[in-house]
Amino acid sequence: MNMVKIFSGIRPSGKLHLGNYLGAIKNWIELQNKADQVIFMIADYHAITTPYDPKTYQQQIMDVALDYLAAGIDPDKALLIRQSKVPQHTELAWIFNTITSVGWLDRLPTYKEQLEKTGINNMGLLDYPVLMAADILLYKSNLVPVGEDQVAHIDVTNEIAKRFNSAFGETFEPVKPHLEEGARIMSLQNPAKKMSKTSDEGIALSDNPDIIRSKIKKAVTDSGKEIKYDPDEKSAITNLLTVYHLLSGKEIKTIEKEYDGKSYSDFKNDLAETAVNFLKPFQEKRKEFENNPKKVLEILEKSEEKSRQLADKNLSEIKKKMGLI
């Protein structure tokens, strides 16, 4: 059987929230037990293509590392690395630039959206998917857990792999996106929007109990007073029910019955306590890592050392085929 080699990346753009956990990270944690090679990367070179604060950047990177370790990334099974600590990523990106058509990049929806949103048109933004292809193919990865919005980038990765194979000889196998089946958790303030990392819209995994209670109390609700799963008519309550279901393991139907005749605020109070209890073990584990920054750094550095070795081997093969060495 073929080896399963998993790779995924995350931009260090704020603390992880409940939506990230229930929608994505939970799957990653499960996947790490089933694969032959697992690498999770903090994409610190990708994230500087959009505005960021250099003063807090290192802290943001460490926050993501802490969140992942606390969520259950196991350093014995998976490598957890910072992109910029493995220089082969950018080296391979340059090489791939020479076989990538600009036309594959300048029509991508993510690129166009960013342009529209920020008005900033830097080369890094256009080249973003090429660096992603390098991240993935540097380790000859073949399975990439990502959200729907990243699938077009995986397509570019496959285009690059194909062109490399045909120009320089069979080297890369096809890369498959592993779409998260996890729920789509929406913002607590606007159930039409995905939960994001900003302010009151999301519950950060590291929010303390009082903040969690206050955010859930302030969550928008729908008109009427019934606690009912109805995505069309009651999108806010439906979102809260989904969160309750995922946190408690209780079926939606059971929860509806339990709250028959009760008020939104009864429901919210119980949901808040459920969230507080659910996050407690995560937060305890995060504290442990937080109090031991040396250990966290050690995990990262060890992973990065191993990654550089894997990368060296594959990059040498690539360079040989291209006549670069």
Q: Which residues bind ligand TRP (CB under 6 A)?
A: 7-11, 43, 46, 132, 135-136, 144, 146, 150
Task: Please report how close the Cβ of residue 217 comes to ligand TRP at its closest, in angstroms.
Answer: 31
CA distance 108 to 86: 27
Q: Which two tokens stand for residue 240?
A: 């809260």
Task: Please report how close the Cβ of residue 131 comes to ligand TRP at its closest, in angstroms.
Answer: 7
CA distance 238 to 233: 9
Q: Is 119 left (phi over 0), alpha (psi -120 to 50) or beta?
A: left
Which C-beta is closer to ligand TRP: that of 82 or that of 234?
82
Task: Please report how close the Cβ of residue 177 comes to ligand TRP at its closest, in angstroms.
Answer: 9
SS3 assignment, position 170: coil
CA distance 293 to 286: 11
Task: Please report how close the Cβ of residue 206 comes to ligand TRP at its closest, in angstroms.
Answer: 20
Which C-beta is closer to ligand TRP: that of 46 or that of 234?
46
Q: Positive or negative, the Cα torsion across 300, 306, 310, 312?
A: positive
Q: Which two tokens stand for residue 4?
A: 């399963």
* Residue showing the smallest CB distance to ligand TRP in the complex: 9
Q: In what order do the strands lie in the sheet with 143-146?
A: 79-82, 37-42, 5-10, 143-146, 176-179
Task: Please report how close the Cβ of residue 7 comes to ligand TRP at its closest, in angstroms.
Answer: 6
Which C-beta is closer to ligand TRP: that of 93 or that of 243?
93
Task: Please report how close the Cβ of residue 12 comes to ligand TRP at its closest, in angstroms.
Answer: 10
Which C-beta is closer to ligand TRP: that of 3 or that of 151?
151
SS3 assignment, position 175: coil
Which C-beta is closer to ligand TRP: that of 8 or that of 60?
8
Which C-beta is closer to ligand TRP: that of 37 or that of 150?
150
